[in-house]
Amino acid sequence: MKNFSTGAARSLVIRAAAAGVFAILAMPVQAAIDCAFRPNAPDQHVVVKGDTLWDISGTFLEHPWCWPQVWGMNRDEIRNPHWIYPGQIVYFDRAHGRLTLNKPGTGADAGQPPLVRLSPQVRTEGMDTNNAVPAIPSGVIEPFLTQPLVVEPQALAAAPRIVAAAEDRLYLGEGDRIYVRGALGDVASFQVFRPGKELRDPDTNQVVAHEATYVGTARLVKAAAPGTDVHTFVVTRSDKEMGVGDRLLPVPPAPVRNYVPHAPARPVAARVMALPTESNFASQNQVVTVNRGTLDGLDVGSVLQLYHLGQTVTDPESKGFLGFGKAKLKLPDEQYGDLFIFRVFDHVAYGLVMRTTGPVQIGDVARSPE
């Protein structure tokens, strides 16, 4: 099995590769992370519509999320990558332990890899970024990018709330006027949500967030004038009926979609604390919530490995204390999948289950790759 963290790739670092895909600066490989190529990895892969970078990398790598290292990306490029497109061919350069868009052994690819930054040169004209191959399946996570489905306690406490409606209506729809109390700042457009159940940290049992049901949007018509206590809003979109007590949060900025997987900057040990539905399990390409966020070292693109907690079993041939009962044995945690973090708050984060051999359950462990 070829491991690019050894041999030529270690001594030569990683060559700037894939002209026209990434503007690349060679960087040292994190030796602690095993980014081995699959023993049956093909020599090449033709990119087709519907591919993701994760899928393409999984064709070559034991751990698909290692692809930024195989391409030789640095942290700045991770934040703003250039994508690849259907019709291009990804080659496995076995001599240098890397992936490239240039056929190995030809042109600039022959010989030793120079430690220089290459400017995009291949197929740079007429490329529509909307047709680029995404890092992960984007459709699954769209609602979690634009709607506040998890709200942290401090945001909930400070959020403006609907206190009344025109004509004393109990339920509200598009075009209805509502009256809101609370500080708005300089924001005029808000999302409206209904607070749901508390989310408790499985480790501490403390409330770290609340589930929230997105019900629509509202726009400020007139701010509270001197002598009045409420602001006047109009409902601009109603996915569900609004009502008194619903909260308002500013419309979030456009989400980052140039996701590039990487290990967290520091070790993270999280727990799954919420699933996307009323089901007791989640599966591949579903979103789960974990009890760690930016303050714990997670950022967009962080990858965690999922583990089932090892069970405690009885040793049938042992004797317990003073010869009574049987000894208890703790089985190891079993790694069964990967979690791709795509939206992060202070203490919680959303992750997409990328690869799994078993169901995800509340309480499962999600920690930095080993």
Q: Given pLDDT bands bounded at 50, 70 and 90, which one contains residue 1?
A: very low
Q: Given pLDDT bands bounded at 50, 70 and 90, which one contains residue 17?
A: very low
Give CA–CA dist 54/145, Å, rounded.
19
Give CA–CA dist 22/361, Å, rounded.
37
Report yes or no on 314 lying in a domain.
yes
353 and 234 within one domain: no
**Domain around 27:** 1-135
For residue 180, is pLDDT > 50? yes
Tokens of 30: 């994190």
For residue 270, is pLDDT > 80? yes
The DSSP call for residue 360 is: B
DSSP β-bridge partners for residue 307: 335, 365
Averaged pLDDT, 119-130: 42
Give CA–CA dist 299/32, Å, rounded.
20
pLDDT of residue 255: 63
Compute how many other C-beta atoms are within 10 angstroms of the C-beta atom of residue 261: 25
Tokens of 64: 């698909």
DSSP β-bridge partners for residue 116: none
Give CA–CA dist 299/290, Å, rounded.
13
SS3 state of residue 284? coil
Report yes or no on 259 lying in a domain.
no
362 and 291 within one domain: yes
Report yes or no on 264 lying in a domain.
no
pLDDT digits (tens, 9 = 90+) for 194-231: 888 888 888 888 888 888 888 999 999 999 998 889 99
Q: Please choose, from the candidates 215, 370, 357, 368, the residue with its C-alpha nearest in 3D space to the C-alpha of residue 290.
A: 368
Q: Residue 256: which residues within 8 A CB-CB, separation 6 or more?
A: 300
pLDDT of residue 148: 64
Give CA–CA dist 44/62, Å, rounded.
16
Angle at the Cα of 156 from the Cα atoms of 259 and 265, rounded to 5 degrees:
30
Q: Given pLDDT bands bounded at 50, 70 and 90, which one contains residue 33?
A: low
For residue 356, is pLDDT > 80? yes
The DSSP call for residue 262 is: B
157 and 34 within one domain: no
Q: Given pLDDT bands bounded at 50, 70 and 90, which one contains residue 119?
A: very low
Tokens of 144: 């979690």
163 and 105 within one domain: no
What values do phi and psi take at 313, rounded to 5?
-125, 165
Q: Please say whether the beta carbons of 217 and 251 come within 8 A.
A: yes
For residue 128, is pLDDT > 80? no
208 and 149 within one domain: yes
Averaged pLDDT, 271-286: 83
Q: Please choose, from the candidates 296, 301, 367, the residue with its C-alpha nearest in 3D space to the C-alpha of residue 334.
A: 367
pLDDT digits (tens, 9 = 90+) for 235-265: 999 888 888 899 999 987 766 566 778 889 8
Determine what percent of the chain is predicted with pLDDT higher than 90. 26
Tokens of 174: 């598009």
286 and 232 within one domain: no
* Domain termination residue (choose one: 135, 154, 174): 135
Q: Please say whether the beta carbons of 213 and 246 come within 8 A.
A: no
Report yes or no on 261 lying in a domain.
no
* Domain termination residue (choose one: 109, 135, 161): 135
Give CA–CA dist 255/319, Å, rounded.
58
Cα first-last separation, the chain: 18
- Choose between 326 and 364: higher pLDDT: 364
Averaged pLDDT, 135-156: 74
Tokens of 199: 């989310």
- Computed over every residue of the chain, the mean pLDDT equals 76
76 and 156 within one domain: no
Least confident of 119-123, 191-195, 286-290, 364-368: 119-123
292 and 185 within one domain: no
Give CA–CA dist 2/24, Å, rounded.
22
Q: Please choose, from the candidates 325, 349, 201, 336, the residue with its C-alpha nearest in 3D space to the C-alpha of residue 282.
A: 336
1 and 65 within one domain: yes
Tokens of 19: 């002209």
Give CA–CA dist 174/233, Å, rounded.
11
* Domain termination residue (choose one: 97, 117, 135): 135
Give CA–CA dist 117/115, Å, rounded.
7
Total of domains in the chain: 3
Per DSSP, the residues of 193-254 read: EEEEEEEE-TTT--EEEEEEEEEEEEEEEEPPPTT---EEEEEEEESS-B-TT-EEEEPPPP
Q: Please say whether the beta carbons of 178 and 172 come within 8 A.
A: yes
332 and 315 within one domain: yes
SS3 state of residue 32? coil
pLDDT digits (tens, 9 = 90+) for 279-306: 788 888 888 999 999 999 999 889 999 9
Determine what percent of the chain is predicted with pLDDT higher than 70. 75
Element (H, E) at 165: strand 161-165
For residue 8, is pLDDT > 80? no
For residue 348, is pLDDT > 50? yes
